[in-house]
Amino acid sequence: MSKELRVNSKYIDQTTRIPFKFNGKTFYGFKGDTLASALLSNNVHLVGRSFKYHRPRGIMTCGSEEPNAIVQVSNDPSLTEPNVRATEIELYEGLEANSQNCWPSVNFDIGGINNFLSPFLPAGFYYKTFMWPASFWEKYEFFIRHSAGLGKAPTKPDPDIYDHQYAHCDVLVIGGGISGVIAAKLSAEKKLDTILLDDKKDLGGVSIYNNDDNFKINDQNVSKWLSNEIENLKKYPNLSIKTRTSLAAFHGYNYLLAKENLTDHLNVNDRKDKIRQRLWKIRAKKVVIATGAIERPLIFNNNDRPGILLSSSIKKYIDYYGVKCGTKISIFTSNDSAYETVLSLYKNGVKVNSIIDIRDKSESLIVKKVQDIGIKIYWKHTVVNTKGYKRINSIELMKLNEKGTGVIGDKINESCDCLGISGGWTPMVHLFTQSGGKLEFNRIDNMFIPNENKSSSEQISVGSCNGDLELDDIIKKTNLKTKEFLDINTSIFDSLKIQSSKEKNKKNIWLLPSDKPLGKTKPFLDFQNDSTAKDVKLALREGFKSIEHVKRYTTTGMGTDQGKLSNMHALGIIADTTGTNMGELGTTTFRPPFTPLTFGAIVGRNVGQFFDHTRYSAMHNWHETNGAKFENVGQWKRPWYYPKNKESMHEAVQRESKAARDSAGILDASTLGKIDIQGTDASEFLNRVYTNAWSKLQIGKCRYGLMLNEDGMVYDDGVTTRLGENHYIMTTTTGGAANVLNKLEDYLQTEWPELDVYLTTVTDHFSTISICGPNSKKIVNKMIPDLDLSDQNFPHMSFKNSSINGVRCRVMRISFTGEHSYEINIQSNYAKNVWEMSMEAGKEYNITPYGTETMHLLRAEKGFIITGQDTDGTLTPVDLQMDWIVSKKKYDFIGKRSLYRSDTIREDRKQLVGLITDDPNEVLEEGSQIVEDLNKKPIEMLGHVTSSYFSPNLNKSIALAVVVSGKNLKGKKLFVPMENKNINVTITDTVFYDKENKRLNA
């Protein structure tokens, strides 16, 4: 740290020296410094290279608007963070930061060659150049990708802890500057539950270090008055103050997101096990926006050299951090505020060489003070060029002509090591517009301000973000607006005595003229993205008119600072060039977040495994113990197959499916959706939601039903059982259960509220054990000897109430395999026991547990569809050759009318068919395409395979497929072309096994 560059400051702790590393070199700063202020105190201005031309760039601001001083923090591969603004990093022990976008170093950067090539790199260069020849794009892309991007992403997982928290309040005040403090105090005094946020470490904004004698409140310096007010805020229990908390987004209905930094300012060793950042989700009844304004740069030739800073930032560095940005400073301004900087520098003994002011004169208090000191002011002059490659060393200025459109007279040379620039102020209206507010243009100060007539009544903007730039305006209007907003009659701020310097002479030139033609100059607009005033004009010449298009073509405002500094000038230059009024042009959209958020803050605690539920059946432990492999079906884990002795899936499935047909198989069918339907209109309801008729179904009988969407396409299927006169239980597919229930609820509540029907999901309450195969009857008989299983008493598609060891259960005789089979439904907490009983009872019949894969194979042998596998939302029951289940008699059901739309009655729709391969050992791949003519170009796809297996019971490969006009193509020879062969297939019936359904009653 250089002693010559430090002055006393009470705002930081100048007794605690902190070492840090920048680009590998150790420096020192004080506790309370930012990385930027500490670097400046070490006389380091050059901190990075610009994105496109790799020009040397220095620290330009002192806040979140910083375009140049963005650095990579930490060398740790899991903690490293790119694109952090040096102006926002609070200095801590262990800080390691590096420049970005330069190689091999910031001092000697190979990419700097681009600066000399800049005449050949205009806006849209990449779009224009790499268009042709098209085949070269892959080569270009490699190089472009290598030169693109800022900073390096971490390569290892983030070890830090992040948190989310909700907050509710009556009033949220955003910004702890003078107007925010006033608003918060009024709100707290009124006993409202209030939250006050500020992104800095302390409250007070710029006024907290305003010790200028030209500004007084109740005869005190502004800083003194304000620090007392801030001290007083602590006494309100209903006021919560959050510093280091930046507001990221202002959504509708006063829902706001803010990021609180909890540990980034601590020494590395003190951070262990602490939450790094917390994302606050705030719902506020009322919001006061007090986000202040950002100083604008001036746009002139070579305005980007290291050592050129915003004038207000130079003021903050000297007054707040006690750091001189230079020893020979010049100030270039269009307004009075830069004179405050001059007075601060003067008071701290820093030499101010000269002031260049584009105005003809200024008659304000502070300008007079500066003139009295004897500092040279060049009125009506502009800087036309700056010199010094890695640090500014001199400026060239000339007199402006009468209109301010050109320069006249002789060039004057002034040497300096720092130039402060001030082009006026831009109110931070981001949050106001994010919340849906519209802006209006203030022609006097050339700025967009909130149009509060066109915004929600639950928020106001106060202070300079509302366009009030003078101290007395800020205080008086904040007081007045807040009173009205919060319904307050009298306020402690009503009778404040305020003394302030008033700006009377105003002038604004968006693009300052130079003695050289524009094409030979580099007046930067967007410093980070290297877009200049030339680029904007080029875009206009090339026909881009919308501000949004100009932005994207030139990349102006697209850097990490999101155009906080550059957007107004871009708009101004467009307006000037096209002869439009600025208000009419509009602005680009202000999108959240206001400043970048870390991914950590966004995800909070939602890291690692998904929070999605995993559902297990009551028999899951048994499956696990018995070596089942599991398949995910929706949220469920279902046994997929049970390999024995290192069997492959194919081997296990062949064994399981053979056993199920030869003797007995057992399946955990608990995951199928179960909906309990009750009410006097239950039968009518089923009539309306299923394609077939239900009124005549006898109590104790089961029926398969097909459910369509209103567009006629198959949606879900399953067996529904009539338990009583007004009581049914419906089963749905495993994956479709929740959606089916929602859909049925929707119809009941909205279309047919007159129906007396109640739906309850009972999927988890009952577990289902399905026992199938020729010996299933004997096994069930052993388990429930009281139950008469004769075909007369208990035929296929019927149901009996029964009990096992005194526990009631429902037994259905239904089959998805084509075998004689039973489903035992029992309360879930008994299910594992009953499953084990079944295994025991079936032992003598080699009862074999089988998983979903075998179930799929067995049903495919029978040609039963699986909705979602054989259907895809484009197939009607007719397409599936399931016309038999569509009632002709019923007047209406969901989807009925759609079944005879011109499209659904087409003969050449894709229809479900069976496929067998000429080579019985060749198993088709599911999803493969089916064609007729291999020579036709382009080859015509007739359909695709939906299910395919090798059937051990038929000893050949079988498949289901959808094929155009497939219904009429039985026996037709087609091809399934694969990568290196064409497979010959023949269309068959969909039922491959036991066409007569003899086995159901075997």
Partner 1 sequence: MFVINCPFCGERDQSEFSSGGEAHIIRPKQPTELSDDQWAEYLFMRKNIKGVQFERWNHAHGCRKWFNMIRDTSNDKIHAIYKMGEKPPIV
Task: Tell me which residues touch partner 1 (CB under 8 A).
Answer: 251-253, 255, 283, 436, 710-711, 742, 745-746, 749-751, 753, 891-892, 896-898, 901-902
Of residues 457 and 980, the one with the C-beta less far from partner 1: 457
Quote the least distance from Cβ 397 to partner 1, whole Å.
49
Of residues 140 and 253, the one with the C-beta less far from partner 1: 253
Instruction: Please give the Cα distance from 731 to 675 (Å, whole number).
Output: 6
**In this structure, what DSSP letter does residue 982 have?**
E
Task: Please spell the DSSP secondary structure of 34-64, one letter per residue.
Answer: BHHHHHHHTT--EEEE-TTT--EEE---SST
Q: How many CB atoms lie within 10 A of CB 538?
A: 18
Quote the least distance from Cβ 882 to partner 1, whole Å.
21
Of residues 93 and 883, the one with the C-beta less far from partner 1: 883
Our CA dihedral for 177, 178, 180, 181, rounded to 10 degrees, sits at 110
Instruction: Please give the Cα distance from 241 to 535 (Å, whole number).
Output: 44
Of residues 520 and 901, the one with the C-beta less far from partner 1: 901
Of residues 570 and 708, the one with the C-beta less far from partner 1: 708
Instruction: Please give the Cα distance from 73 to 939 (Å, whole number).
Output: 56
Q: How many CB atoms lie within 10 A of CB 931?
A: 16
Of residues 411 and 454, the one with the C-beta less far from partner 1: 454
204 CA to centre of own chain: 33
Pure H helices in 300-336: 311-319
Of residues 1 and 738, the one with the C-beta less far from partner 1: 738
Q: Which residue has the tokens 């020849």?
A: 133
Quote the least distance from Cβ 285 to partner 1, whole Å.
11
Quote the least distance from Cβ 953 to partner 1, whole Å.
43
And the tokens for 814?
A: 């239904």
Quote the least distance from Cβ 728 to partner 1, whole Å.
20
Instruction: Please give the Cα distance from 32 to 850 (Å, whole number).
Output: 69
Of residues 746 and 756, the one with the C-beta less far from partner 1: 746
Quote the least distance from Cβ 252 to partner 1, whole Å.
5
Beta strands in 350-485 (DSSP E): 351-357, 376-379, 381-387, 394-400, 407-415, 418-422, 425-427, 438-442, 447-451, 459-461
Quote the least distance from Cβ 53 to partner 1, whole Å.
42
Quote the least distance from Cβ 901 to partner 1, whole Å.
5
Quote the least distance from Cβ 874 to partner 1, whole Å.
15
Quote the least distance from Cβ 617 to partner 1, whole Å.
25
Which phi-psi region, left, alpha or beta, contains residue 312 (left: φ > 0; alpha: ψ -120 to 50)? alpha
> Residue 539 corresponds to which amino acid?
A
Beta strands in 155-291 (DSSP E): 161-174, 194-197, 216-217, 220-221, 239-242, 245-251, 255-261, 275-289
Of residues 742 and 803, the one with the C-beta less far from partner 1: 742
Quote the least distance from Cβ 284 to partner 1, whole Å.
12
Cβ–Cβ under 8 Å, residues 49 and 106 = yes
Quote the least distance from Cβ 63 to partner 1, whole Å.
29
Of residues 901 and 981, the one with the C-beta less far from partner 1: 901
Quote the least distance from Cβ 476 to partner 1, whole Å.
31
Of residues 42 and 691, the one with the C-beta less far from partner 1: 691
Of residues 252 and 374, the one with the C-beta less far from partner 1: 252
Quote the least distance from Cβ 251 to partner 1, whole Å.
6
776: helix, coil or strand?
Answer: helix
Closest CA relative to residue 682, chosen from 733, 740, 721, 737: 721
Of residues 428 and 741, the one with the C-beta less far from partner 1: 741
Q: How many CB atoms lie within 10 A of CB 474?
A: 24
Instruction: Please give the Cα distance from 503 to 333 (Å, whole number).
Output: 13
Of residues 410 and 892, the one with the C-beta less far from partner 1: 892
Of residues 253 and 389, the one with the C-beta less far from partner 1: 253
Quote the least distance from Cβ 671 to partner 1, whole Å.
22
Cβ–Cβ under 8 Å, residues 174 and 594 = no
376-379 and 351-357 as β-strands: parallel, antiparallel, unpaired? parallel
Our CA dihedral for 176, 181, 184, 188, rounded to 10 degrees, sits at 130
Of residues 704 and 752, the one with the C-beta less far from partner 1: 752
Q: How many CB atoms lie within 10 A of CB 169?
A: 22
Closest CA relative to residue 925, chosen from 940, 954, 953, 947: 947
Instruction: Please give the Cα distance from 557 to 562 (Å, whole number).
Output: 5
SS3 per residue for 924-941:
CCCCCEEECCCCCCCCCE
Q: Which residue has the tokens 């955003």?
A: 174
Our CA dihedral for 329, 331, 332, 335, rounded to 10 degrees, sits at 170
Of residues 371 and 898, the one with the C-beta less far from partner 1: 898
Quote the least distance from Cβ 171 to partner 1, whole Å.
17
Contacts for 548 with CB less than 8 Å, ≥ 6 apart: 588, 589
Strand-pairing partners, residue 862, are none
Instruction: Please give the Cα distance from 115 to 119 (Å, whole number).
Output: 8
Q: Which secondary structure element, helix H or strand E, spans residue 661, and what is its range?
A: helix 649-662
Quote the least distance from Cβ 257 to partner 1, whole Å.
10
Of residues 289 and 741, the one with the C-beta less far from partner 1: 741
And the tokens for 347?
A: 């008071």
Contacts for 879 with CB less than 8 Å, ≥ 6 apart: 909, 910, 911, 912, 962
Quote the least distance from Cβ 39 to partner 1, whole Å.
41
Closest CA relative to residue 642, chosen from 634, 652, 650, 633: 652
Q: Which residue has the tokens 């080569």?
A: 139
Cβ–Cβ under 8 Å, residues 181 and 230 = yes
